[in-house]
Structure 1
């Protein structure tokens, strides 16, 4: 695969997350009874960044949890090549029942990852509402799922791949399009 273009640099990612933080606060009329839950791996770091921005704006902390959807995936057998899946565990520090949960991921593509996240959340508790925030929405949905908060819509072809890199994992903040 070769890199076709960098579509978001560090500043653009920061601006997108700032916009999403303001939208979360506005839509929920503050952050009381809200919890941010990031899907492993990059969704967790995006959730932590959003929590910091929300705390800066609102002057109060918001709980952040991490969700491992490995065992909820419908493509688990295809991805593991008959090896045992690596499960890292879920860590949600607050009760989610009757809370407003904002599920956070880096890229929304087919919707299958989000569906897995919804299943995992429902096994933990029964939130009053679940909202979805993504850094990038690239289209090509296979399930009827849409994001409530989107950093950037990037229409792609099925032969292209969106790669999100975050400093916490990749030592750089950028979103790129790669193609075969």
Structure 2
């Protein structure tokens, strides 16, 4: 015999997951950022893209490929490992230190565009700026991100943003890329549904 609805225990709340960007959306966003870089840099002359691992590195390579396809210019790409520059090393386990790979010609006197997947507190970008200071003296530094979710703790702003996603602090933006995860997608995790 079934219990009356009032006597049933409430179903547990399930965390919600919402797809924000599909595979096709991610490709369009990367194309748009590449066009914005070309416009703002007047053809990407003297520009270097430095991806911040893990997902910023493949995004930097994608942006360079799209810029090359649109404009026929080769933009040098490198990888900037920031592990030792993070301000949370004492509080959280970190990933293994990876190599920093500067493109031929380095960064001195060039426009450096840092590339990352998600801009949140700004602490990753602060660490990247500290790392850059130890590697050379760029003419300028800009920031390109796939997603800006807000909640900055430092006065940092992206120059190129694929998508602004207002979030609650308890929510999490998860980016997956084909190069690292097998598929391109951006999901918002958090909140609950009953």
Q: State the TM-score bracket (shorter-chain normalisation).
A: over 0.9
Could you tell me which runs of 5 or more consecutive residues in structure 2 were left unpaired when the two chains were aligned: 1-13
C-alpha distance in 1, partners of 2:71/2:56? 22
Shift of 1:3: 4.4
- In 2, are the aligned partners of 1:20 and 1:149 still within 8 Å (CA)? yes
1:111 aligns with 2:128: no
C-alpha distance in 1, partners of 2:151/2:97? 27
C-alpha distance in 2, partners of 1:15/1:85? 30
User: Which of structure 1's runs of 4+ aligned residues deviate more than 4 A?
Assistant: none
C-alpha distance in 2, partners of 1:137/1:48? 20
- In 2, are the aligned partners of 1:3 and 1:176 still within 8 Å (CA)? no
1:16-27 matched pairs, under 5 angstroms: 16-27=29-40
Q: What residue number does 2:84 align with? A: 71
Q: What residue number does 1:30 align with? A: 43
Shift of 1:79: 1.3
CA RMSD of the aligned region, Å? 1.3
**SS of the residue aligned with 2:20?**
strand
1:89 aligns with 2:99: yes
Q: After superposition, what is the alpha-carbon deviation per residue over 1:98-137, rounded to whole angstroms, capped at 9, x for unaligned?
A: 1000000000000000000111111101100100000000
Shift of 1:179: 1.0
From the superposition, tell whether residues 60 and 87 of structure 1 become closer, same or farther in structure 2 (CA, over 3 Å). Answer: same
- In 2, are the aligned partners of 1:99 and 1:127 still within 8 Å (CA)? yes
From the superposition, tell whether residues 2 and 167 of structure 1 become closer, same or farther in structure 2 (CA, over 3 Å). Answer: farther
Q: What residue number does 2:62 align with? A: 49
Q: What residue number does 1:147 align with? A: 158
State the aligned residue count.
177
Counting helix residues as a fraction of each chain, which structure ranks higher? 1
1:115-130 matched pairs, under 5 angstroms: 115-130=126-141
From the superposition, tell whether residues 67 and 31 of structure 1 become closer, same or farther in structure 2 (CA, over 3 Å). Answer: same
C-alpha distance in 2, partners of 1:145/1:175? 22
1:159-178 matched pairs, under 5 angstroms: 159-178=170-189
